[in-house]
Amino acid sequence: MNRKKSKRNFLVSICLMLAIFTVLSACGSNSKTAEPSNAEVAGDKKEEQVSIKYYNWDNADTEEGTKAMLKEFEGLNPNIKVEHVVLVPGNSVEMLKKLDFLISSGEAVDVVNVPSAGAVVERAARSAWAPLDEFYQAENIVPEDEYYVNPKVDNKYYGMQMTAGYQFVLLNKDALDEVGLPVPTYGWTWDDFREYSKKLTKGEGVDKRYGSYFHTWELYMNAPAQTVMKDPFRYDDGTTILSDPTYKYFFQLRKDMEAIDKSTKPYSDVLAAKLNYRSEFFSGDAAMILSGSFMIPDPGNLEQYPHDFKTAFAPVPLPPKEALPKDYGDGKYFVGGGQLAMGATSKNKEASFKLMRFMSTEDSQSRTEFSGSKKSDQNTLLDRLIGTNTDKYDVESLKNTLFGSDIKYLDSSEIVTISTSDLTKIINDGFSKFMLGKDSIDDVQKWMVDEATKVIDEKESK
């Protein structure tokens, strides 16, 4: 009996030991599998994959570069898929109209390339964008240390500078040599530009080469306001700059160059024919054109713009003494450039911010414009933008124009203008009144000032 009891106790002990061993093994097993395997991690990442949209107004020249940059970004961020949406090819004004429609319709907008800081601020005031402050703070980023221009509303950041836009004059170097004119340097004036235009004009009819070409943008309606003033719409005191002496001077200059000198293509013809500014220059129909750094790759792009002359570059002419702006920056130049903004309706803001930082700072081989980042290597990018067809460039004049010792750039304006669309329309309408009608410059300028003052009084906070 005792032997049976002893045997039974032994069996019970064995069972208990087995049970304890099983529990410990299970615990050990659970502890070991608490850290996921590589396969499981990959599976989790797959589940977290997000898609965002990147909106801009690319044309055929810039679209491939954008696609390549987006592909680079996706390679570095395999869990983020980016859809490239070209709203209106090559037309930033119409692109903004279409964008406003999308926003008002409630579409989830992620990242938008906006053509100017003013366009960012205007829409930020309408709550179209998400503020970037929390994202900057999370990465210990001080925007002023990173970018030249940082659009803000109510002390919150809404724009991230994607590109730095430098303006200059492109000149047909062969045409200059033909008439014995040197490449202009810093300090030449718009009066000098007019004289150059007259001397570079030759021929008649369809074979005529105009000395210069002005496109339809407001840049060409008052170039000094757009190039040597901090804000193209308002003075530092908040009032309209449409009363500035540069308006009277430049409007009259444009009309005299067309009607008296006949050295630049008439504004009416430019509107009617819907001319392309690149084609006008590279076809040889115009010997000079005011433009910007986005055109640096073009002289070397012989496939897109076949031509056989060399392109020289000059700084933007300065206003003559009798037409200096009220808020003149002592000959310093405005820095423009595209901005990136994040839609307030974006459902993937972290991914959107990642894309914005990449597009604004990455020294990509696909970049076709200068980065808005202060830390970018400008000369390396310039060499890359010029490419292999260096014989089509007067490289020395280009480098002196952008980064010469005389060239200085303005600080960003502290004025926040939210009614840029309304004020731009007034400038366009006033210019058309003067160029296409019989109104005097004094009457036109008074009308512009009155209209702009109404807009500012109604919409702008002082």
290: DSSP letter: E
Instruction: Taking each helix axis as running N to C, give the angle between helix 245-256 and helix 441-459, from 0 to 180 degrees, rounded to the nearest 10.
Output: 140
**Per-residue confidence at 111, pLDDT binned at 50, 70, 90?**
very high
pLDDT, mean of residues 171-180: 98
pLDDT, mean of residues 407-422: 82
The pLDDT of residue 22 = 40
**Per-residue confidence at 23, pLDDT binned at 50, 70, 90?**
very low
Best CA proximity match to 317, nearest among 193, 422, 438:
193
Q: Please enumerate in sequence order all residues whose Cβ is within 8 A of that of 284, keeping only pairs 6 or more positions apart, or say none.
A: 172, 209, 307, 309
Report the percent of the chain where pLDDT is more than 90: 72
Long-range contacts of 58-62 (CB under 8 A, 24+ apart): 58/84, 58/86, 58/89, 58/90, 59/89, 59/90, 60/89, 60/90, 60/304, 61/297, 61/298, 61/301, 61/304, 61/368, 62/294, 62/368
CA dihedral 124, 130, 133, 136 (to 10 degrees): -120
Report the percent of the chain where pLDDT is more than 70: 89
pLDDT, mean of residues 27-54: 54
Q: Does the pLDDT of residue 70 top 50, yes or no? A: yes
The pLDDT of residue 269 = 95
Residue 353: count other Cβ atoms within 10 Å of its Cβ.
22
Q: Identify the structural domains of the chain with CATH numbers, from first to last.
A: 48-164+336-376 (3.40.190.10), 167-334+389-459 (3.40.190.10)
Amino acid at 241: I
The pLDDT of residue 374 = 87
**Per-residue confidence at 47, pLDDT binned at 50, 70, 90?**
low
Q: Does the pLDDT of residue 46 top 70, yes or no? A: no
User: What is the spatial distance between Cα 95 and Cα 115, in angstroms, rounded to a whole number?
Assistant: 10
Coil/strand/helix, residue 341: strand
Best CA proximity match to 224, nearest among 322, 106, 79:
322
Q: Does the pLDDT of residue 120 top 50, yes or no? A: yes
Model pTM greater than 0.85? no
Across 179-217, b (16+ Cβ under 10 Å) vs e yields: eebebbebebebbebbbbbbbbbeeeeeeebbbbbbbbe
Coil/strand/helix, residue 50: strand
- pLDDT tens, position by position, 215-260: 999 999 999 999 999 889 999 899 999 999 999 999 999 999 999 9
The pLDDT of residue 414 = 73
Mean pLDDT of the chain: 88
Element (H, E) at 120: helix 117-124
The pLDDT of residue 76 = 96
